[in-house]
Amino acid sequence: MTRRVTTQVGIVGAGPAGLVAALLLLAAGVEVVLVEKEARAVLEQRPRAGLVEHRVVEFLRREGLADGLLARGFPHGWCEMVMEGEALRFDYAALSGGHQHWVYPQQHLVADLLTRLDALGGACHFDETARALEDIDRRPRIRCRDREVVCDYVLCCDGPDSLAAAALPSGSGTGFRYPYDWLTALVHVDRPVEAVAYGVHAEGFAGLMPRAGRQARLYLQVTPGDDPARWPAADVRREFAARMGATADALPTIDEVIATDVVRMRGRVSTTVRRGRLLAVGDAAHVLTPSGAKGLNLAVADAADAARSLVRWYRDREDDDLAGYSGRRVREAWQVQEFSDRLLNLLHLPPAADHEAAFQLRLRRERAVRLLEPGPLGAAFAHWYAGSGRGPDGRGPVDGPREARTPPARDAPDDPVRSR
């Protein structure tokens, strides 16, 4: 027998985007029901992203959602780019006036948000796959196996294979498949990773990213569609060391390769992320590569925008914010895609004959030197990298108390540095 649940906002997906949206709505007195296909234990243990932008940290702090992050995470304000065997230091905190990331694994943030949801009495149904969305133009219904959620609005926060894809107009997105993939490995190292390390090499990109304690995330550029089973631990260690060159000796030693996978390197932006009473959020609206660590952060920004717009609608029956939601989110998605693509082009050589590799490597080194040194170019790049500008709620990182919040004007011109 199908159980019917009626609420104000139904949310599909209990990742960071869905949980942030739910908590903001609940705090404003809006009823919420979440459905999530995975078990709670999976969400609280599954490793994903690990770098949280400055603007997102400040936003979560203002909303009372950053206690665990601030207590157990740690700030990260510089990284290295290894080019032609030389490690170039990118001190982006200094170049951006002190703005930096926080290292905090996504699964820990999700666990914190779920604990907060419990405290607020929010309803989240785990192991409940949403199978269809119906009547989204009038009175949306989320159909699950044993449950039907009837709501005023539905937020799709269910990732790149979202139900929103079938609901949004056909052909409403455009994307790009990069000519390479990344092998991703969760690794155990002999000491904590101090800073992100990027390696640019004729054989392909390599990267090492800090996570909690003595865990880290390792990346290797591979051919599209490569099979992770083809990469035993010994090969991962050897190829990583080769691409990092002499600087590998200064990096933490990889004690254990815990798990490997291959990330399909692709980007996609929808031309609209709303239809009727459905709003797409995060990866359901746009897909980013891991380059620049923007996916989690853009998803939180989407969730905050959606929640703020819905709170205003319930409070004042004012739909201007809702009407502008799609335009705002698509505009920011393109800005973030451009930065991610720019960083990828810096870190990867184009397909070329072997004799051209030295030329391409030197070009990238010269570009990096210009970006990583003090000056207007370095400052702008650092602001984008750290995510230093307006927070997901539209406010600057030091704009007074939460009670004084004023939504930004819809038609205010964007400053590409301040907006990050």
Maximum alpha-carbon separation in the chain = 68
- Candidates 204, 209, 231, 207; CA nearest to 219 is 207
- Which run of H or of E encompasses 221? strand 215-222
Both 243 and 199 in a single domain?
yes
How many other β-carbons are positioned within 10 Å of the β-carbon of residue 368? 21
Sole residue written with tokens 């709501």: 151
Report phi then psi at 319, rounded to 5: -105, 10
- Neighbour-count burial for 291-311, b at 16+ CB within 10 Å, e otherwise: bbbbbbbbbbbbbbbbbbbbb
Neighbours of 188 (CB within 10 A): 15
Cα distances (Å, whole numbers) of residue 45 to 69, 105, 212, 228: 16, 10, 12, 21
User: Considering 231, 264, 297, which residue would you say is the last residue of a domain?
Assistant: 264
Q: In CATH, what number is assigned to the domain containing residue 227?
A: 3.30.9.10
Identify the helix (H) or strand (E) that includes residue 266.
Answer: strand 266-270
Q: How far is CA 179 from the centre of its chain?
A: 22
- The DSSP 8-state label assigned to residue 176 in this structure reads E
CA distances, 83 to each of 55, 109, 247, 388 (Å): 30, 34, 10, 26
Q: Are residues 281 and 158 in the same domain?
A: yes
Boundary of a domain, candidates 264, 293, 313: 264
18 pLDDT more than 60: yes
Task: Verify that 36 and 120 share a domain, yes or no.
Answer: yes
* Residue 191 belongs to a domain: yes
pLDDT band for 26, please (50, 70, 90 cuts). Answer: very high
| Structure tokens, 224 | 């599209």
Task: Note whether residue 16 is domain-resident.
Answer: yes
Domain for residue 306, yes or no?
A: yes
| Contact by Cβ (8 Å): 88, 198 | no
Q: What value does the mean pLDDT of the chain take?
A: 90
**280-316 pLDDT, tens digit each:** 999 999 999 999 999 999 999 999 999 999 999 999 8
The whole-number average pLDDT for the span 192-215 is 94
Residue 29 lies in a domain: yes
The parent domain of residue 281 ranges over 3-50+105-175+267-343
Examine the domain organization and report whether 165 and 188 are in the same domain: no
Q: What is the pLDDT of residues 235-268, one digit of tens each?
A: 999 999 999 998 888 999 999 999 999 999 999 9
162 and 136 in one domain?
yes
Q: Which amino acid is at 380?
A: A
Q: Are 166 and 219 members of one domain?
A: no
One domain for residues 271 and 203 = no
Both structure tokens of 379: 């400052």
Q: Could you tell me if residue 72 is inside a domain?
A: no
pLDDT at 392: 65
Claim to verify: residue 249 and residue 284 sit in the same structural domain? no
Whether the pLDDT of residue 278 is over 80: the answer is: yes
- Sequence-separated (6 or more) residues with CB below 8 Å from residue 145: 128, 129, 131
Burial of 174 (0-12, 13-18, 19+ CB in 10 A): exposed
Which of the two residues, 222 and 173, has the higher pLDDT score? 222
| DSSP strands (E only) in 3-76 | 3-6, 9-12, 32-35, 51-52, 74-76
In a domain, 381, yes or no: no
Across 49-57, average pLDDT: 95
- Same domain for 253 and 213, yes or no, is yes
Does the model's pTM come out above 0.85? yes
Q: Both 258 and 285 in a single domain?
A: no
Amino acid 150 reads: V
Asked whether residue 169 falls in the same domain as residue 42, the answer is: yes
Judge whether 399 lies within some domain. no
The string of pLDDT tens digits covering residues 70-127 is: 999 999 999 999 998 899 999 999 999 999 999 999 999 999 999 999 999 999 999 9
Domain stop point among 219, 246, 264: 264
pLDDT band at 4 (very low <50, low <70, confident <90, very high): very high
- What are the angstrom distances between the C-alpha of 78 and each of 66, 71, 148, 160? 22, 21, 48, 31
Q: Is residue 385 part of a domain?
A: no
Using the predicted structure, report yes or no on whether residue 55 has a pLDDT greater than 90. Answer: yes
Pairing of strands 79-83, 266-270: unpaired
Total domains, the chain:
2
Output DSSP code: residue 50: -
**CATH number of the structural domain spanning residue 285:** 3.50.50.60
Both 161 and 283 in one domain: the answer is yes
